[in-house]
Amino acid sequence: MERKMWAIWRFAFFRLILLFYIVYRVSGNAEGDALNALKTNLADPNNVLQSWDPTLVNPCTWFHVTCNSENSVTRVDLGNANLLGQLVPQLGQLSNLQYLELYRNNISGRIPDELGNLTNLVSLDLYLNNLSGPIPVTLGKLQRLRILRLNNNTLSETIPMSLTTIGTLQVLDLSTNRLTGDIPVNGSFSLFTPISFNNNLLNKLPASAPPPLTPSTPTPSGKKRICWIVADNSNFLMETCPEIKKTSLFDLRPICSEADLKRLDVLFSRF
């Protein structure tokens, strides 16, 4: 009799433990589950995702994943990883993600609309993949985004106007895709030259004077100078003239205001 009671009690106890474990997994590791959904959707011939063990409490010890002090994912660094497959909508659940670096892989399919939910994102680098379909309008919700590089894919349809509302945007590369329609010129897009849009099926920009190829001399007052910003596609080098030395001539655009120079200072301190 006593033995039987003990057996029942033991059974109940283990059921309870199992229940706690399941509840904990579900509530405590949503971000790990989201990343694991990505892993499941990708072929990984180089085993760069080998450390992505979904049974761990959180994904913070996984290679290529960085977390903040609250164990929430802030970076996913998987550029040049030879990954093949599609992105997953679950990525939109990484609410503290700041850097999503998936450039130079063989990722195909669409960019999920859900990436627009990553409102803390600072850098979205999906260049040099095989992504197709439109650039999601929802990316306009990324109001902290500074770097958006989607170049060298096969993205189609028009450039969403919503992107012009991202006031923080400093680097934009949509070149070498199959985008159509007009190039937005207002809002944050007033900064960008045709180089950001090269090699698409876009309508020509309305005739405005192209930036001259030699820096102009500072105005006598020195208050409002014409300076230059040189953004290298891969290395993101920024330069002003005449004080600072030159680098590669990938993207050249005029910087006219003190506000722009201030933005440059911020950039310099970061990169």
Ligand X SMILES: *[C@@H]1O[C@H](CO)[C@@H](O)[C@H](O)[C@H]1NC(C)=O
The answer for residues whose C-beta is within 8 angstroms of residue 245's C-beta and 6 or more apart is 239
| Interface residues toward ligand X, by CB under 6 A | 82, 84, 92, 104-106, 108, 113-114, 116-117, 128, 130, 138, 152, 161, 164-165, 176, 184, 186-187, 199
Rounded least distance, CB 219 to ligand X, Å = 29
Rounded least distance, CB 42 to ligand X, Å = 11
Shorter beta-carbon distance to ligand X: residue 117 or 123: 117
Parallel/antiparallel/unpaired status of strands 171-173 and 201-202: unpaired
Shorter beta-carbon distance to ligand X: residue 66 or 165: 165
- Cα angle 211, 217, 219; round to 5: 105
The CB-side HSE value for 89 (13 A sphere, CA atoms) comes to 4
Cβ proximity of 142 and 119 under 8 Å = yes
- Cα angle 86, 90, 93; round to 5: 140
Rounded least distance, CB 102 to ligand X, Å = 11
Give the residue at shortest CB distance from ligand X: 187
Shorter beta-carbon distance to ligand X: residue 65 or 83: 83
The conformational region for residue 176 under phi > 0 = left, psi -120 to 50 = alpha, else beta, is left
Per the document, the length of the chain is: 271
Rounded least distance, CB 117 to ligand X, Å = 4
Rounded least distance, CB 62 to ligand X, Å = 21
Shorter beta-carbon distance to ligand X: residue 136 or 254: 136
Shorter beta-carbon distance to ligand X: residue 141 or 226: 141
Q: Cα separation of 14 and 19, whole Å?
A: 9
Q: Cα separation of 255 and 191, whole Å?
A: 8
Cβ proximity of 114 and 91 under 8 Å = yes
Among 233, 247, 240, CA closest to 262: 240
Shorter beta-carbon distance to ligand X: residue 59 or 92: 92
Rounded least distance, CB 61 to ligand X, Å = 26
Among 118, 83, 132, 77, CA closest to 100: 77
Q: Cα separation of 206 and 115, whole Å?
A: 31
Rounded least distance, CB 200 to ligand X, Å = 11
Shorter beta-carbon distance to ligand X: residue 79 or 254: 79
Q: Cα separation of 103 and 127, whole Å?
A: 5
Shorter beta-carbon distance to ligand X: residue 187 or 194: 187
Rounded least distance, CB 11 to ligand X, Å = 38
